[in-house]
Chains A and B, each alone.
Chain A
Amino acid sequence: MSEVAALPNGWQLIVGLEVHVELATKTKMFSASANRFGDEPNTNIDPVTLGLPGALPVLNKHAIELAMRIGLALNCKVQPCTFHRKNYFYPDLPKAFQITQYDHPLNVDGHLMLPGDVRIGIERAHLEEDTGKSTHFGGASGRIHGSDYSLIDFNRAGVPLVEIVSRPDIRTSEQARQYVAELRSILLAVGASDAKMEEGSMRCDVNVSVHKPGTPFGTRCEIKNVNSIRSVGRAIDYESRRQVDLIESGGTIRQETRHWDDSTGRTETLRTKEDADDYRYFLEPDLVPLVPDQSWIDAVRAALPILPAARRQALAELCGVDKDGESAIVVVERGQDDYVREVISAGGDARRAVIYVQQAFAEQGASPKVSAKDLAALTVLERDSKVTSTQAKTLLTDLIEAGGGDVAAMATKRGFEALDTSAVEAMVDAAIAAEAGAWQKYCNGEEKALGALVGAIMKSSKGKADGKVITALLQAKRP
């Protein structure tokens, strides 16, 4: 995807992200109904979920455990915390208040690293409960405006959430996308959530403002309904331009919540601050403080897996690739870095191993069918110039299709053998003589002539000459 041009006229983008994550617990935050996506409406309900008279909340221990994992993986401080009521009226909010955390959240002051060693501060990661789900009928496109009525399903009401609030340290839409992607991989790695944006188990609200460096931050707008990593980028690109255009034409930014429409690629006003509710936060009297003791915190920290950033670092060092590069990112994301290690242990060439896996193993999952030993053998064949890189690519496909096998035999069967260097040199000398015109041009500095020469030699060798070897020889022979 192409990078969008930076904002014009010296404007700087300021972005903060609020990500809501549904935790992978069996039951809800404050009651024992099942926490399950996709069940028949209103089949995971109880007095607390429905906000029935007389219902009382009781904290889910496993939700705390998962929330602590998130906090510690984000380098937060885990602290004694309390719960507050956030009061407002909405049909998918069964008690007419949401139990959340206000001035004493569970996790504070963390950070997340982006590629290029960019550090994004995490202000807090706190616990709260999810709302039910409203579906609107009668209006256009299921949107709320102009609808005739709504139907409410409370299966999701009470599902445990962690809200992760970044500091406004993000400066480009690319960074924002990287932040969401990295956060997602951390959540998956620690087992806190399945973080599926398309199912709503991870939801992003994006806060965007613009300013000129050296001046205070501008008024920010909150953007909702951003349902994919790609939309995060697109919404930021649109909104930042909108704000710059508005300011430059003499307007002022109104602090408001806007709705991202993915089909039109625009944000629209949803709610202004004048309509905003006064939430009347006060300490939840039906709950008591949560004070995780040090031994629990230490146990959670000790049980954390190696996080994606550390795994990319380790893989990069092992294979001589860039830790922020495509191969490290992709291979770790797929969980195939341990497999690469096995290939290397089986004698494989490290750099080739990681590149092969990145390029060809997209469908293979964390435990590829091709044995580490077989893949190792292929990397060695190419390293030792027994096959050309083009031939190696073909063999790789063969290997994957067959689910493994004896690569040397496969190469022989295909009639693949790389010509040794002296044979190639003979072909190069013959071509220099035969293609005198092209050779003259190349010697005069026309780099384009090189390609024609290489192509001709490869063709006459019926693919047995390695293109890299040919190129190196021609370059060396040029006076």
Chain B
Amino acid sequence: MQKLVEIASGVSGGTLSASEVVEEYLKRISARESEIHAFNLVTADQARHDAGKIDNDVKAGKKVGALAGVPIALKDNMCTRGVETTCSSKILQGWKPPYDATVVTKLRNAGAVIVGKTNLDEFAMGSSTENSAFGPTRNPHDISRVPGGSSGGSAAAVAAGFAAASLGSDTGGSIRQPAALCGVVGVKPTYGTVSRYGLVAFASSLDQIGPFASDVRDAATLLETISGHDPMDSTSIPQPALSLVSVLDQGVKGMRIGRVTDLPEGCEPDVLERLEAAFDALRSAGATIVDVKLPSLQYCLTAYYLIAPAEASSNLARYDGVRYGNRVDAADLNSMYAATREAGFGEEVKRRIMLGTYALSAGYFDAYYGKALKVRRLISDDFARAYQSVDTILTPTSPSVAFKFGSKTDNPLAMYLCDVFTIPTNLAGHPAMSVPFGVGADSMPVGIQVLASTLGEQVMFKVAAELERAS
């Protein structure tokens, strides 16, 4: 399977035909998609059309973008004009946005060829893609196992070779955890580096869009393209696109790598073994390992599961059947709202809306949402202290390899624990990425998480590149 950078340089250099490339990917999709179900929608015709246009532009000597001809898949919570965007929810089934998300515009301008919209946990709420209203996605390494979530479809699409790269969104680990479970690279950048305009909001102060790719260089290239200030997003950091590819070969000599000594329990031994191997690899490459403590880590799950549902309960109130989406008619307005949302939302979404509404309601605000915001400050301070003595931190991405379908669906809390290592960086707004590093139980992929401080992407990618070289 080709790398993103190879496709882009080949197509723009005229040595590769974008139409032939996309045909190859569409063939792989035909062969295995019914088994994997990575997509809600494969946009084959449009992809062929776009690829053909790229080829014509190249032949005509016109300038093409940095992702020319590269087949990319998009998580189905990013608005694509005129193309169905469902968030894997019945309430938005059939909805075609009248506008493109900023990242979609950037991809199109870069000449990328969008092959389809990928499956996710409904409204990005979940860690296994089992909460999709349209059926789960299966892990390409073992179809009896979940691909992770919520961006399960985007992770699986890259793992199965359905796209050269894909975009996902990460609120509590929804890029990194499926990346780890599917054996691909997944990056959550610093909050504010990639525009959220056109990303269907789950938790506004936590959501970020990021890339999935089969290697670190591809991920870096894609992230460079989609990052940079956007005036349509008030939380967008006022600085230009990230510059990452140029540092990938700089190595980790002299770097201080943090090992968290008070990591929450529950990590499987096979995963911990891979983490140790990762530390060894970096040590061999000239880095120093330094112990750090993050005492607030153990409270992050609570803070997250109060803050995220609170914001989500407000963000999802707009799904009321008035202006778009599927409505269930009733004799009066209130009944219409209730019937529409009852029919349109799945169980996990309802649960989080309920939790969030409760956490914000009069009399409970200070005890729940108010307190959670303070815990958020604590973890941010913990990280600030830690980064005084280290440049980066390594943790497992997921406590275990991909689990079997249905094994965690009975107890919501058990599912929430999948995100115990990824949540802290969302709360702090820091970047983190998952890099495949060997296999664990049942030969399933294991991902190692590399964390960095605010706007520390270059450090993070240097470490990731080193791990990749060693894996």
A-B interaction: yes
A residues with CB within 8 A of B? 47, 50-59, 85, 87, 89, 91, 94-97, 150, 152, 154, 278, 280, 282, 285-288
User: Given that A94-B323, A152-B322, A285-B204 are known contacts, is A53 also in contact with B232, CB under 8 Å in the complex?
Assistant: no
Known: A54-B201, A56-B235. 20 other contacts (CB 8 A): A52-B79, A52-B97, A53-B87, A53-B97, A53-B200, A53-B201, A53-B318, A54-B79, A56-B232, A58-B231, A89-B317, A89-B334, A89-B337, A95-B318, A96-B317, A278-B362, A280-B362, A285-B235, A286-B204, A288-B234
Q: Assess A51 versus B200: contact at CB under 8 Å? Given A56-B233, A59-B234, A94-B323.
A: no
Given contacts A54-B197, A54-B201, contact A280 B357 (CB under 8 A): yes
Are the CB atoms of B233 and A280 closer together than 8 Å?
Answer: no
Q: For the complex, give the distance between the alpha carbons of A22 and B205 in Å.
A: 30
Q: Which chain B residues lie closer than 8 Å to A52 at the CB level?
A: 79, 97-99, 323-324
- A85 neighbours in B (Cβ, 8 Å): 314
B85 proximity list for chain A (CB < 8 A) = 53
A58 in contact with B232 (CB, 8 Å): yes
Least CB separation from A97: chain B residue: B314
Q: Does B365 contact A (CB under 8 A)?
A: yes
Question: Does B401 have its Cβ within 8 Å of any Cβ on chain A?
Answer: no
Given A53-B79, A53-B92, A286-B235, CB of A96 within 8 Å of CB of B101: no
Q: How many residues of B are counted as interface, with CB atoms below 8 angstroms from the partner's CB atoms?
A: 43
In the complex, what's the smallest C-beta–C-beta distance from B361 to chain A, in angstroms? Answer: 5
For A47, give its contact among B92, B99, B235, B333 (CB under 8 Å). Answer: B99
B residues in contact with A154, CB < 8 Å: 323
Q: Given A87-B317, A94-B318, A96-B317 in contact, is the A54-B101 Cβ separation under 8 Å?
A: yes
Given A53-B200, A89-B320, A282-B310, also A287-B362 (CB < 8 A)? no
The complex places the Cα of A94 from the Cα of B362 at a distance, in Å, of 23
**B11 on interface, CB distance cutoff 8 Å:** no
State A293–B388 Cα separation when bound (angstroms): 33
Q: Which B residues are CB-close (under 8 A) to A152? A: 322
Within the complex, the shortest CB–CB distance from A211 to chain B, in Å, comes to 27
Residues of A within 8 A of B235 (CB): 56, 285-286, 288
Q: What is the interface of chain A mostly: helix, strand, loop, or mixed?
A: loop
Inter-subunit contact B314/A280 (CB<8 Å): yes
Q: Could you pull out 10 A-B pairs where Cβ atoms are within 8 angstroms?
A: A52-B97, A54-B78, A54-B200, A87-B314, A91-B333, A94-B322, A94-B323, A96-B320, A280-B314, A282-B369
Q: Which residues of B contact A286 (CB under 8 A)?
A: 201, 204, 234-235
Q: Smallest Cβ distance from A9 to chain B, in angstroms?
A: 38
Cα of A56 to Cα of B360 in the assembled complex, Å? 21
Is residue B198 within 8 Å, beta carbon to beta carbon, of the partner chain?
yes
In the complex, what residues of A have CB within 8 A of residue B275's CB? none
B99's nearest neighbour on chain A, judged by CB, is: A47
B322 to A280, Cβ gap below 8 A? Answer: no
> B97–A56 contact, CB under 8 A?
no
Q: How many Å lie between the Cα of A95 and that of B316 in the bound state? A: 9
Is the CB–CB distance between B232 and A91 below 8 Å? no
B345 to chain A, nearest CB (A): 14
Of the residues A57, A89, A285, contact of B205 by C-beta under 8 Å: A285
A56 to B362, CA, bound (A): 26
Please indicate the chain A residues that have their CB under 8 angstroms from the CB of B334 in the complex.
89
Interface flag for B199 (CB, 8 Å): yes
Chain B nearest CB, measured from A277 CB (Å): 10
Cα-based distance from A152 to B333 in the complex (angstroms):
13
* Chain B residues within 8 Å of A59, by CB: 234
With most chain B CB atoms within 10 A of its CB, the pick from A85, A97, A286 is: A286
Tell me how far the C-beta of B250 lies from the nearest C-beta in chain A, rounded to whole angstroms. Answer: 34
Which of chain A's residues have a CB closer than 8 A to the CB of B317? 87, 89, 95-97
In whole Å, how far is B31's beta carbon from the nearest beta carbon of chain A? 33
B231/A282 in contact, CB under 8 A:
no
B311 CB-CB contact with A under 8 Å: yes
Interface centre among B233, B322, B337 (most CB of A within 10 A): B322
Q: Which of chain A's residues have a CB closer than 8 A to the CB of B333?
A: 91, 150
Whether B361 lies near A280 (C-beta < 8 A) is yes
B196 at the A/B interface (Cβ < 8 Å)? yes
A residues in contact with B97, CB < 8 Å: 52-54
Q: Which 3 A-B pairs have the closest CB atoms?
A: A96-B317, A285-B204, A280-B360
Candidates B198, B310, B365, B369; contact of A54 at CB < 8 Å: B198
**Assembly CA distance A89 to B316 (angstroms):** 11
Return B408 CB to nearest CB of chain A, in Å.
28
B374 vs chain A, min Cβ distance (A) = 13
A270 CA to B314 CA, complexed, in Å: 26
Distance to closest chain A CB from B186 (angstroms): 21
B194 smallest CB distance to A (angstroms)? 13
> In the complex, what residue of chain A is closest to B323 when comparing beta carbons?
A50
Cα distance, A285 to B323, chains bound together (Å)? 23
Residues of A within 8 A of B322 (CB): 91, 94, 152
Whole-angstrom CA separation of A285 from B233 in the bound complex:
11
A141 CB to nearest B CB, Å: 20
Q: Let me know if B200 and A278 touch, CB within 8 A.
A: no
CA–CA, A423 and B23, complex, Å: 114
Q: Is the CB of A51 within 8 A of B234?
A: no
- Interface 1/0 per residue, B190-227 and A, CB below 8 Å: 00000011111101110000000000000000000000
Q: How far does the alpha carbon of A97 sit from the alpha carbon of B310 in the complex, in Å?
A: 13
Q: What 0/1 readout, one digit per residue, does chain B (367-383) give for beta carbons within 8 Å of chain A?
A: 00100000000000000
B residues less than 8 Å from A55 (CB atoms): 197
CB distance from B17 to the nearest CB of A (A): 34
Q: Which of B221-245 contact A (CB under 8 A)?
A: 231-235
Choose among A85, A89, A288 the residue with the greatest number of B CB atoms under 10 Å from its CB. Answer: A89
Task: Decide if A51 touches B337 in the complex (CB within 8 Å).
Answer: no
CB neighbors of A among B350-368 (8 A): 357, 360-362, 365
Chain A residue contacts of B78, Cβ below 8 A: 54
- Which listed residue (A47, A57, A94, A282) contacts B314, Cβ 8 A? A282
Q: How far apart sit A152 and B205, CA to CA, in the bound complex (Å)?
A: 31
| Chain A residue at smallest Cβ distance from B123 | A53
**Binary interface profile of B, 318-340, with partner A (CB < 8 Å = 1, else 0)?**
10101110000000011001000
Chain B 136-171: CB-based contact to A (< 8 A → 1; otherwise 0): 000000000000000000000000000000000000
A48 to B98, CA, bound (A): 12
Give complex CA distance A4, B200 in Å.
Answer: 57
CA gap between A265 and B232 in the complex, in Å: 48
Which residues of chain B are within 8 angstroms of A97 by Cβ–Cβ distance? 314, 317
Shortest Cβ gap from A378 to chain B (Å): 60
Give the complex CA separation of A95 and B196 in angstroms.
17
CA distance A85 to B198 in the complex (A): 20
Q: How far is the CA of A287 from the CA of B79 in the complex (A)?
A: 21
What B residues does A285 contact at CB under 8 A?
203-205, 235, 311
Which residue of chain B has its CB nearest to the CB of A45? B98
Chain B residues contacting A50 (CB-CB under 8 Å) are: 323-324
Task: Check if A280 sits within 8 Å of B320, measured CB to CB.
Answer: no
Given contacts A94-B323, A282-B310, A286-B204, contact A58 B362 (CB under 8 A): no
* B205 surroundings in chain A (CB, below 8 A): 285
Which of chain A's residues have a CB closer than 8 A to the CB of B323? 50-52, 94, 154
Contact B365 A280 (CB under 8 A): yes
Q: B434-467: contact bitstring with A at CB < 8 Å (1 yes, 0 no)?
A: 0000000000000000000000000000000000
CA gap between A57 and B333 in the complex, in Å? 27
Smallest distance from the beta carbon of A159 to chain B beta carbons, Å? 18
A280 and B201 CA atoms in complex are apart in Å by 18
Complex CA–CA separation, A16 to B362 (angstroms)? 25
The contact string, 1 if C-beta is below 8 Å from chain A, for chain B 96-107, is 011101000000
Chain B contacts of A282 at CB under 8 A? 310-311, 314, 360, 365, 369
How far apart sit A97 and B357, CA to CA, in the bound complex (Å)? 13
A30 closest partner in B (C-beta): B234
> What is the distance, in angstroms, from B204's C-beta to the closest C-beta of chain A?
4
Residues of A within 8 A of B101 (CB): 54
Task: Name the A residues within 8 Å of B361 (CB-CB).
Answer: 278, 280
Which residue from B196, B234, B365 sits with its C-beta under 8 Å from A287?
Answer: B234
The listed residue with most A CB atoms (<10 A of its CB), out of B78, B101, B201, B234, is B234
